[in-house]
Amino acid sequence: MRYLACFRPTESLTSKLPKDRALSSPSSGLHCTIWGFNMDEQDEPSLKFRLSKIRSVQYKIMTQKMACFDGGSVVLLLNCPTELYALHSDVREVTRPLDKDTTKFDAMVAEYGSEKYQPHITLSKTPIELSDKFNGIKMQIDSYEILKKKDGIWQHVITYRFSG
């Protein structure tokens, strides 16, 4: 089963998104991926326990610019404060032993993890006009969540709040 560790953008960004037309955003909703992995659903208690041991603090993140990824998806690039990078690393470390295919997991780390991690929010899966009006928006991030894709639908598993 596919799992996703992510955080959601705050109202300081979402209030600026166009309301007059629906963005073709991901089925999991607007989010910034911290890390994705595959594991058996029966390992959720172990996942929750392992993630509960990660200590992270609130951090501020800022939007940088819009870009195109993966053949047309429009994303909003974010800076990567040390707190987010540490969380990304910790979540990767905790989830690797639970992943069903560590060879594939390691290949994903080599391609997207560690120093290659580029935080972003996918705004649309289809081309839209790029704009600089989203540059420089600051967001206070105080939690992250785990989602799982079950029967083709993303479902909330748990939310972890950061210390002040």
Give the long-range contacts of residues 17-22, CB within 8 A, separation 24 or more: 17/123
The domain limits of the chain are 2-161
Q: Does domain 2-161 have CATH number 3.90.1140.10?
A: yes
For residue 99 the two structure tokens come to: 């992943």
Nearest to 29 by CA among 7, 51, 60: 7
How many residues comprise the chain? 164
- Splitting the chain (164 residues) into consecutive groups of 10 residues, what average pLDDT does each group show? 95 78 69 96 97 94 88 86 96 96 96 93 73 87 96 95 84
> What is residue 74's predicted lDDT score, i.e. its pLDDT?
83
- Judge if pTM exceeds 0.75: yes
Mapped onto helix, strand or coil, the DSSP state of residue 59 is strand
Which residues face 120 on adjacent strands?
77
What letter represents residue 65's amino acid? K
Contact 87, 54 (CB under 8 A): yes
